[in-house]
Chains A and B, each alone.
Chain A
Amino acid sequence: AQTVTQSQPEMSVQEAETVTLSCTYDTSESDYYLFWYKQPPSRQMILVIRQEAYKQQNATENRFSVNFQKAAKSFSLKISDSQLGDAAMYFCAYISNFGNEKLTFGTGTRLTIIP
């Protein structure tokens, strides 16, 4: 079974600084997707960024970028120029591209932005 591990329950960063959230996963498959979701206090999960396993180029969405290391099964999220609105729970998630796929989530990292 696939597992997703987020080893940082909480992180904090000064406004305008850069922070990196860690995620590792375990799978025997080669074709899959990885995601970072953000859950603010409003509780609604919002997709931040996605990465297809077959793409070597790291995904980037404005201030958000990932460092995808397929061999190491690592998928970290870098937030540049942190803003107050970035404060939220961040979840790393995995989904296989085979069979009856379902999202498997990590336990989350609570990110606090210090003004």
Chain B
Amino acid sequence: KAGVTQTPRYLIKTRGQQVTLSCSPISGHRSVSWYQQTPGQGLQFLFEYFSETQRNKGNFPGRFSGRQFSNSRSEMNVSTLELGDSALYLCASSLVPGEGKGTEAFFGQGTRLTVV
């Protein structure tokens, strides 16, 4: 079956703009998590959605937001982009919330965002 699909793969934006990233989970998976990966900070948890509800949120400013649709697809939005938002944004899907509940989290290939 198809894996986790993230679009676009690459994105270049200017400071002050906003951006929307998309994640389509594996069919049947209802939980979607987002992570930011940078060389300096490593992998940091952004938020998790399950059944269209935000279940958990990391320590990021309000400029970072997300949502999940009824088909489990998820989007994350970053407004008023800053240079420091340049990162690889990874999405992971799993059957149920929490990768530790006996289910594996499957990751997409990420969206590489560059802010100039």
Contact = CB atoms under 8 A, between A and B. Distances in A.
B43 interface: yes
B45 A102 contact: yes
A47 B100 CA distance: 12
A90 interface: no
A33 interface: yes
A101 B98 contact: yes
Contacts, number: 60
A47 B104 CA distance: 8
28 contacts: A32-B100, A33-B100, A43-B109, A43-B110, A44-B107, A44-B108, A44-B109, A45-B92, A45-B107, A46-B107, A91-B43, A95-B98, A95-B99, A96-B100, A97-B100, A100-B55, A100-B56, A101-B56, A101-B97, A101-B98, A101-B99, A102-B56, A102-B58, A102-B98, A103-B43, A103-B45, A106-B42, A108-B42
Nearest to B112: A43
Interface in B46-77: 48, 55-56, 58
A56 interface: no
A47 to B, nearest CB: 5
A107 interface: yes
Interface residues of A, number: 24
Interface residues of B, number: 26
A25 interface: no
Interface of A: 32-33, 35, 37, 42-47, 50, 91, 95-97, 100-108
Contact of A104 (B45, B92, B104, B106): B45
A55 to B, nearest CB: 12
A91 B45 CA distance: 14
B42 A105 contact: yes
A57 B104 CA distance: 20
Nearest to A96: B100
Contact of A47 (B33, B90, B105): B105
B1 to A, nearest CB: 15
A91 B44 CA distance: 12
